[in-house]
Structure 1
Amino acid sequence: MRIELVSEPGDPARPNEDFASVGLPASGQGGSLVVLDGVTPPPGDDGCLHSVHWFSARLGGALTELSVSRRDLTLAEILSRSVLRTSEAHSDTCDLSHPRTPQATVVLARWSGDLVEYLVLSDSALLLESPAGEVTPVLDDRLSRVPRASLASDAIADATVRNKEGGFFTAAADPSVAARAVTGTVPRAEVRALAALTDGATRWVEKFEEGDWGGLFTTVRKEGAQALVDRVRTLERADAEARARLRRSKTHDDATVVFVEW
């Protein structure tokens, strides 16, 4: 099995708000991956004493543990329990009803000898590659369908559409959000490799239009996960003056890629 994990902050002076892990059970049978993209809030009060980095690490740790140890639970149930566990860790000190309480996008994947399960919530991505080399993206596109007039900026959505019907959903403090995730299963024989990416890495496709999902996957397979992040950084630096035209809120973003091949 080949496993690669790269997670790089957009700004070395700030904590990386992404989280990534690969869990392999002691039995050696199957495994799981977790990728989160913490949502950077705008300046001002968010009702919480804790950072987005803290939240991503807490939620990511719970997801990693449960996806490995509780194979009797669906991925949606694991997300629900992990959100609840994380909420309980700071409900006594923080206002979790605040619309900008720490939150994150989620990608979960778990595989056994005969099945691959997946869950995607918000705008991180999961790519599945077939034995024939065909790449299928698993996406939650609700954020991209929100009218731009409803968004305060490219990265920060207004409270009227975040975690609201008709808007888009992220993992924050409400365990019921798990029911909003894109979920499914695929026979293990139909998947030879997969990749999970935060939107700091998917910019190669979605912002810069350097290629399609198959091209991105080929880059990671042939050159490695770090090569994809390096390419995105080069494009960002070259295009810094076009930020307004491309409606990007920041030149660089935290970028995470997890690649698994069996």
Structure 2
Amino acid sequence: MRTELISEPAGPDRPNEDFTALALPASGRGGALAVLDGVTPSAVAPGCAHSVPWYCARLGGALTELSVSRRDLTLPGVLSAAISRTAEAHAATCDLSHPRTPQATVAAARWDEAVVEYLVLCDAVLLLEAPDGTVTPVLDDRLARLPRAALRSAAVVDGTLRNKEGGFFTAAADPAVARRAVSGTVPRGSVRAVAALSDGAARWTETFGEGDWAELFAVLRGRGAAALVERVRELERGDAEARVRLGGAKTHDDATVVFVEL
């Protein structure tokens, strides 16, 4: 089994709000991976004393542990339990009902001898490569389907489009959101390799159009995850119109990639 992992912050003066983990259980049977991308609020959520990195570390740690210790749960069940555990860790001190309570996007996979399970919530990306080289993206496109005007509106800034019908869904404090994730299973024999990316790394395809998902996967396999992230940084630095093309988004973002050849 070949594995590779990189997580690079947007800049030296900012904490990395991505979380990533790769777990290979002591049983030697299968494994699991997870990438979480903290959803940065426009302001600190009223009533919560915790940061987005704190939340991602808690939720990611719970998700990773439960993925390997609770094989009786599906991945949506694992995510639901992880959200519950994380909410319980600060429910007594914080108001978790606010729409800007700390939250994250999620891409996760788990495999054994029989199946590969997958789960994506919001704009993280999961890629499944078949033995013949075909790459299938697993995407939750609800955020991408929102009109650009809506993305720039106060509805996004104040959080009222989050975790609502007609908007998009993230892992926050309600475990029921796990049912909103794009999830499923495929036979183990139909998957040769898996990659998970935060949206900062997925910019290679989604923002800058360097290639499609299969071409991105070929970069990971051939040149490695660090080369992919470095190319994204070059494109961000070299694009004089980056802020316009990114719809007013930050020029740089945390960039995380996990690659596993099964």
Q: TM-score, normalised by structure 2?
A: 0.96
**Structure 1 residues not aligned, in runs of 5+:** none
| 1:77-88 alignment, distance < 5 Å | 77-88=77-88
Q: Which residue of 1 aligns with 2:48?
A: 48
Aligned residues: 261
- Alignment pair present for 1:243 and 2:246: no
Of the structure 1 ranges 2-11 and 237-246, higher mean CA displacement relative to structure 2 is found in 237-246
Pairwise CA RMSD:
1.4
**Structure 2 residues not aligned, in runs of 5+:** none
Tell me: CA distance 1:6–1:75, structure 2 relative to 1, closer, same or farther (3 Å).
same
- CA offsets 1:222-257 (integer angstroms, 9 cap, x no match): 000111000000000001543124314111100000
Residues 100, 158 of structure 2: 8 Å contact kept: no
Superposition deviation, residue 152 in structure 1: 3.2
Q: Which residue of 1 aligns with 2:219?
A: 219
Superposition deviation, residue 13 in structure 1: 1.2
Q: Aligned partners of 2:216 and 2:134: how far apart in 1?
A: 12
Tell me: CA distance 1:245–1:128, structure 2 relative to 1, closer, same or farther (3 Å).
closer
Task: Give the letter for the 2:255 counterpart.
Answer: A
Q: Which residue of 1 aligns with 2:67?
A: 67
Q: Which residue of 1 aligns with 2:169?
A: 169
Q: Percent identity?
A: 70
Residues 77, 178 of structure 2: 8 Å contact kept: yes
Q: Which residue of 2 aligns with 1:185?
A: 185
Residues 99, 158 of structure 2: 8 Å contact kept: no
| 1:122-201 alignment, distance < 5 Å | 122-152=122-152, 158-201=158-201
Superposition deviation, residue 196 in structure 1: 0.2
Residues 42, 158 of structure 2: 8 Å contact kept: no
Task: Give the letter for the 1:97 counterpart.
Answer: S
Tell me: CA distance 1:95–1:240, structure 2 relative to 1, closer, same or farther (3 Å).
farther
Superposition deviation, residue 25 in structure 1: 0.7
Q: Which residue of 2 aligns with 1:108?
A: 108
Q: TM-score, normalised by structure 1?
A: 0.96
Superposition deviation, residue 77 in structure 1: 0.6
- CA offsets 1:36-67 (integer angstroms, 9 cap, x no match): 00011113544310110000000000000000
